[in-house]
């Protein structure tokens, strides 16, 4: 049975995954944290916490709220910064079989480019996931990923700074997901992952104020699955690069839905909080499904549910 997928066919390094199950940025730390709970080397790839040029402190408490089948988070990109990732984490990853990608996020276009340049050629780093779901100061606080032109500008800047395989991660907080996807593909994205979290709010009724310290947060978990699936379906029909599905995937059957919608790989996020073994359980479930259905190659499933 062949489960392997290639996420960057046109890139000189390529990005070959042993299987299509990845972990989503911000929900799996740097990979090391889960390594004593199960064999993380069995996964397709790991994407590390969103990383900025300088370390960030993040937002005030509370940062989390549970909603029906979902989670609102306003972590505010607390992270150790790109230098610490390169110095402390990459050497660990270099000894791993599972490829690790660094999720980068900037306030300005130059931030993205500078981080990409620093990551280029670092042992242990197999690719970059460019998170364009961050408010952009120059564009009056709109997310880079809200507009095709801004999204393309970031992608092109990163592309020019590195030869590493590039995954561009789209935000659902846009009116034109297909337009953004096409724009980043033309600007050099090797693959496209989606979705990041749609924006949401919860109100604390006893205190009569927003529950999250930052007022708004991003919604994740099973609650967003149909939205994510719709966007993956739409984008897979609009671009010629591999698509990676993210959003509310908790079971193997969820993952297979994304693959049938056109995703070449999937990322598991919030489900890892509910069950740290979820990524592995999902991988095993996909294998069982393929066995049961007599499918030899995962490629037979990619896009199989489209019409």
Ligand X SMILES: Cc1cc2nc3c(=O)[nH]c(=O)nc-3n(C[C@H](O)[C@H](O)[C@H](O)COP(=O)(O)O)c2cc1C
User: Where do contacts with ligand X occur on this chain (CB under 6 A)?
Assistant: 24-27, 49-50, 71, 73, 75, 77, 103, 131, 169, 196-197, 220-221, 224, 246-249, 268-271
Report d(CA 78, CA 214) in Å as an integer: 13
Q: Does 230 bind other proteins (CB under 8 A)?
A: no
**Partner touching 103 among ligand X, other proteins, none, CB below 5 to 8 Å by kind:** ligand X
197 binds other proteins (CB under 8 A): no
131 binds, among other proteins, ligand X, none (CB under 5 to 8 A by kind): ligand X
* Position among 145, 200, 222, 247 found at the interface with other proteins (CB under 8 A): 222
Q: Which is nearer to other proteins, 82 or 177 (CB)?
A: 82
- Judged by beta carbon distances under 5 to 8 A according to partner kind, the member of ligand X, other proteins, none in contact with residue 207 is other proteins
Q: Give the nearest distance from C-beta 298 to other proteins in angstroms.
A: 24
Instruction: Find the part of the chain contacting other proteins (CB under 8 A) among 68-76, 110-118, 190-198, 289-297.
Output: 68-76
Q: Single out the residue of 208, 106, 216 nearest to residue 153, CA to CA.
A: 106
Report residue 276 as tokens.
């740290």
Residues linked to residue 272 through DSSP beta bridges, in sequence order: none
Q: Does 208 bind other proteins (CB under 8 A)?
A: no
Q: Which of 123, 98, 124 is nearest to 16 (CA)?
A: 98
Residue (of 121, 177, 112) closest to 145 by Cα position? 177
Cα dihedral 292, 97, 240, 48 sign = positive
**Helix, strand, or coil (residue 111):** helix
Q: Which of other proteins, ligand X, none is residue 34 near (CB under 5 to 8 Å by kind)?
A: other proteins
Coil, helix or strand at residue 166: strand
Does residue 166 bind other proteins (CB under 8 A)?
no
Beta strand spans in 256-303 (E) = 265-268
Q: How far is the C-alpha of 263 from the C-alpha of 246, rounded, in Å?
A: 9
Q: How far is the CB of 24 from ligand X (least distance, A)?
A: 3
Shortest approach of ligand X to residue 105 CB, angstroms?
A: 6
- Rule CB under 8 A: is residue 35 a binding residue for other proteins? no
Strand-strand pairing, 127-131 and 191-194: unpaired
- Shortest spacing between CB 39 and other proteins, in angstroms: 13
Q: Closer to ligand X by CB, 9 or 62: give it.
A: 62
33 binding partner (options other proteins, ligand X, none; Cβ < 5 to 8 Å by kind):
other proteins
Virtual torsion, Cα 32, 38, 41, 47, nearest 10 deg: -50
The one catalytic residue in 21, 115, 134, 265 is 134
Q: How far is the CB of 114 from other proteins (least distance, A)?
A: 23
DSSP, collapsed to helix, strand or coil, labels residue 152 as: helix
Does position 135 interact with other proteins (CB under 8 A)? The reply is no
Clarify whether 134 is annotated catalytic. yes
d(CA 39, CA 27): 17
The tokens 């660990």 sit on which residue? Answer: 92
Q: Which is it for strands 127-131 and 100-104: parallel, antiparallel or unpaired?
A: parallel
Return the active site residues: 134
């Amino acid at each position: 049975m062949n489960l392997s997928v290639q996420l960057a066919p046109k890139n000189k390094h390529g990005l070959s995954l042993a299987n299509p199950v990845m972990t989503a940025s911000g929900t799996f730390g740097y990979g090391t944290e889960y390594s004593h709970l199960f064999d993380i080397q069995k996964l397709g790839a790991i994407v590390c916490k969103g990383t900025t040029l300088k370390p960030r402190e993040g937002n005030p408490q509370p940062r989390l709220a549970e909603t029906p089948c979902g989670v609102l988070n306003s972590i505010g990109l607390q992270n150790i910064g790109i230098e610490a990732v390169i110095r402390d984490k990459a050497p660990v990853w270099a000894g791993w079989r599972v490829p690790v990608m660094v999720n980068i996020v900037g306030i300005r276009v130059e931030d993205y480019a500078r981080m990409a340049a620093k990551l280029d050629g670092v042992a242990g780093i197999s690719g970059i996931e460019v998170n364009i779901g961050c408010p952009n100061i120059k564009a009056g606080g709109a997310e880079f990923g809200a507009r095709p032109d801004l999204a393309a500008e970031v992608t092109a800047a990163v592309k020019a700074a590195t030869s590493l395989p590039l995954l561009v991660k789209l935000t659902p907080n846009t009116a034109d997901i297909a337009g953004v996807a096409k724009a980043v593909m033309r600007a050099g994205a090797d693959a496209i992952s989606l979705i990041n979290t749609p924006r949401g709010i919860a109100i604390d009724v006893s205190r009569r104020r927003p529950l999250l310290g930052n007022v708004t947060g991003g919604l994740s978990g099973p609650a967003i699955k149909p939205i994510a699936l719709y966007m993956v379906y739409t984008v897979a029909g609009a671009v010629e690069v591999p698509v990676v599905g993210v959003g509310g995937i908790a079971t193997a059957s969820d993952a297979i839905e994304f693959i049938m919608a056109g995703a070449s790989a999937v990322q598991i996020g919030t489900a890892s909080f509910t069950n740290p073994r979820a990524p592995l359980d999902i991988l095993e479930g996909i294998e069982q499904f393929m066995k049961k259905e007599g499918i030899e190659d995962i490629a037979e499933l990619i896009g199989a549910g489209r019409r």
